[in-house]
Chain A
Amino acid sequence: MNWGGLDAFLAMGGHGFYVWGSYIVTFALLAIEVARLRRARREAMRCVKPGTDLQQADRS
């Protein structure tokens, strides 16, 4: 199926707001989820610093 140029593609027959609103939010949310996961992992890695006395870390 060929769209008549980029303008028609973006307009989506007048429903561009709804179609792109759906797609952009969806993939933005998925990207945010991945970003948050990576941040959480980095924090978990920092939680056990190399050489930390594990028992002392427990008490803090």
Chain B
Amino acid sequence: MITRDLLLAVRRRADVATTLLFFVLVASLFPLGVGPEPNLLRAIAPGVIWVAALLASMLGLGRMFAADHADGTLEQMLLGAAPLGVIVSAKAVAHWLVSGLPLIVLAPVLAIQFDLPREAFFVLVASLALGTPALTLIGAIGAALTVGVRGAGVLTALLILPLYVPVLILGTGAVDAAAAGLGVQAHLLLLAAFLVFAIAFAPWATSAALRISLD
């Protein structure tokens, strides 16, 4: 079950490329918008990189259930033997591998673009590593609620962006603290706690949402 979605994801290398491209593009828009002043860019870097990552991750959510819904596989999954929670988790993992992990890998490059202090690099990667899976899990709930609905993309964004706020605040807070030389333990622990909360709760909510959408 997991391998199926992973194989599909790996084959769609184009999706990884477009996600990364979007990530870099959005982040690059900010210096164009606010000016190249290094101090300003250094100050907004954690927020900009995090928001760009958040949006890039969100863009890929449409893919999570759409293809399977279109050809009827999703309905079969609901009736099938495998528990829905496992199916949903597999899809979340696949989504993160395409729309989360690449961002984590590319983030240090963007950090260099914004001249983020060296001390903050590791924390940036760590915060994204803890945060992007949480974003995927929460996003899955939104994607499941809007399966087959007209205008699902924007609607999903409207639904889950408010729910993304805690992760965004914790993630950027961690990087800001690292850049200022302060302790980051509390931030990363809270991020980890939120991720655990998401792992425990989100697949169940997503399954419930799928049942509502397809019954």
Answer yes or no: A and B touching, Cβ < 8 Å: no
Using a CB–CB distance below 8 Å, which chain B residues touch chain A? none
A interface residues, Cβ below 8 angstroms from B: none
